[in-house]
Amino acid sequence: MSLKPPHKVSAPPQRAHHPHWPQRLPLTMGLPSTTLWHNLAVNAQRYPHKCAVHYMGTAWTYLEVMHQAERLAAWLALHGVAAGDRVLLIMQNCPQWLMAHFAILRANAVVVPVNPMNRSLELQHYISDADARMAITSADLALGLVQANHALPMDQQLHHLLVTQHTDGFDPQHIPEGDMPEAWHDWLLSTHPVPAIQSGLTHLWADALSHEATPPALTAAATDMAVLPYTSGTTGLPKGCIHLHRSLMHNAMASAFWSQGTPDNVSLCVVPMFHITGMVSVMHSAIYLGATLVLMPRWHRDLAARLIQRHRVTHWTNIPTMVIDLLGSPLIDQYDLSSLVHIGGGGAAMPQAVAQRLFSQWGLRYIEGYGLTETSAPSHSNPPDRPKQQCLGVPFVSTDARVVDPQHLTELPLGESGEIVIHGPQVFQGYWKRPDETAKVFFELDGKRFFRSGDLGRMDEEGYFFITDRLKRMINASGFKVWPAEVEALMFQHPAILEACIIATRDPYRGESVKAMVVLRPEHRGRVTEQDVMVWCRSHMAVYKAPKDIEFLDALPKSGSGKVMWRALQEAELARQSGAV
């Protein structure tokens, strides 16, 4: 019997960043054929009694998390959820979010993670566009979801709504002292009313876990859709990004290896798990390793420091504003943060002075990265051994990234600014039900399918990437992407607004904030104030999207073709802030 010689994998062509690549890591990584569910199931066998999740003093073991997810998967199947169905998941960080996420995957279905800050007008789009018939949410958010649902035509409405109380995820009698900020008491400890839906049935979390049904056969494969996260853009309405099990698996694994992860990791998870970074680079990465997650439902600087100290947190992915806030606490020197070995994030550049303080006081180098919903979080990251400040880093594991001429899509030399484009196993398949939009963002270069990021950047002589500008209209507020077209579309529903144009303002803390230039209808002028418009916006859209500043104009500047000249308004605002006007 003769054996065939092993297949030789050709080495990737040399790129400028390769000499600076972490020596312990290969440039490319093979992907397993298993699904994301397998990561939880196998670690429930390896570490059945190990803590998977710490939350408000309650520890959930890997075996407990898996059993809860399996029961919930069986319940989903009993209530009509079949392979490939989309299920909305709308909660703040909590154990129920993680259990529901894996239950949906175990039911061979697709998770549609939704920002819990979204309001009724926004939620309507997620229900109808995803063709969702099942949603899972917390009781404090249920009314807004029900209101959104009832505003839709009956044939687009939900059939089932599963609701959890916050106390389903922890024992209120055993909260360690100081772990429940006073401002959270009513929110987390109260039993919130559970509204009914006119188009179907509302169910309680405890009831869904009380049956003895068997989960359906596990038929999902690595090549099946796992998650449909939504991202907005220049067209206004959010678009679903089709991600397979294998695209998220790649970045979960690569993120674990990049940060020298082991099963002994303890990760602080305060970035939202509905967001692609929290979901993939924190939650899925930890579950892949068999590590422990310490969950926070919202940011609170002193609680974060207390949890790092108590649980000996080793890894913390965040946004720079969190670090800035933490270091600004007058109590910071009272906490022992020495357990941290890896800290990093993205969404905005880390100020150099803050990064220097992290290094001088704790010996921590802040590892900045870059990615999009379309790339299941990182497409770039700084090598932990050789990071550069205010830099996107180098192309991630198995990733080929280039800088191209935005018009001709030809590669540009080192140092020249152009559009950042990305090819890799973490890149999404396309936009849900939007083939035309999908076609616009993909092109072929050197026989590979590249995704157009819409961001302008350059590479230095060592192959590190830096952002220089944006092709897309986008505002980055504390790491949350705000798309002006989407905010404008929502504002046009205000009865007093004739026209609106959204621009960015500089913000020393958030990086950027949202400003609305508004033209009122003639009959409302003098009767509606800037404050009235701001209050309306906060009640109709997520708080990070709502304008922090309103300026009334008699008219918006327009081009000869009638298009609003938003760039002129933007440049005038930046000049005003710089004192040039």
CATH fit for domain 475-577, picks 3.30.300.30, 3.40.50.261, 3.50.50.60, 3.30.300.180: 3.30.300.30
Q: What is the pLDDT of residue 568?
A: 85
Q: What is the pLDDT of residue 236?
A: 64
Structure tokens of 322?
Answer: 């969190």
Residue extent(s) of CATH 3.40.50.12780 domains in the chain: 36-345
| Cα separation values, 97 from 91, 203, 213, 249, Å | 6, 16, 21, 19
| Cα separation values, 401 from 24, 222, 426, 461, 493, Å | 21, 24, 12, 15, 40
Tell me phi and psi for residue 395, to 5 degrees. Answer: -55, 140
Least Cα distance to 205 among 72, 56, 67 occurs for 72
- Check if CATH label 3.40.50.12780 holds for domain 36-345: yes
Q: How far apart are CA 380 and CA 193, in angstroms?
A: 44
CB 40 within 8 A of CB 279: no
Tell me phi and psi for residue 426, to 5 degrees. Answer: -90, -5
For 577, how many CA atoms within 13 A lie in the half-sphere containing its CB?
A: 15
Please identify every stretch of the chain with a pLDDT value under 70, giving residue numbers as ranges: 1-12, 232-236, 470-471, 559-563, 580-581
Q: How far apart are CA 75 and CA 227, in angstroms?
A: 20
The model's pTM is: 0.86
Q: What is the pLDDT of residue 123?
A: 95
Structure tokens of 53?
Answer: 């999740």
Fold of domain 403-470: Luciferase; domain 3 (2.30.38)
CB 189 within 8 A of CB 198: no
Q: What is the pLDDT of residue 498?
A: 85
445, amino acid identity = L
- Residue 67: how many CB atoms within 10 A of its CB? 14
Least Cα distance to 134 among 183, 94, 77 occurs for 77
CB 528 within 8 A of CB 516: no
Q: Work out whether strand 239-240 and strand 230-231 pair parallel, antiparallel, or are unpaired.
A: antiparallel
265: burial class by Cβ within 10 Å (0-12, 13-18, 19+)? buried
Q: How far apart are CA 389 and CA 352, in angstroms?
A: 7
Q: How far apart are CA 29 and CA 11, in angstroms?
A: 12
CB 58 within 8 A of CB 170: yes
Q: How far apart are CA 106 and CA 76, in angstroms?
A: 10
3-state secondary structure 29-51: CCCCCCCHHHHHHHHHHHCCCCE
Q: How far apart are CA 468 and CA 532, in angstroms?
A: 36
Residue extent(s) of CATH 2.30.38.10 domains in the chain: 403-470
Tell me phi and psi for residue 163, to 5 degrees. Answer: -120, 135
Q: Work out whether strand 201-204 and strand 239-240 pair parallel, antiparallel, or are unpaired.
A: unpaired
Structure tokens of 45?
Answer: 């066998």
* DSSP string for residues in 292-348: EEEE-SS--HHHHHHHHHHHT--EEEE-HHHHHHHHT-TTGGGS--TT--EEEE-SS
CB 39 within 8 A of CB 179: no
Residue extent(s) of CATH 3.30.300.30 domains in the chain: 475-577
DSSP 8-state assignment for residue 13: P
Structure tokens of 237?
Answer: 């309405």
CB 50 within 8 A of CB 265: no
Tell me phi and psi for residue 534, to 5 degrees. Answer: -60, -40
List 268's β-bridge partners, or say none: 294, 316
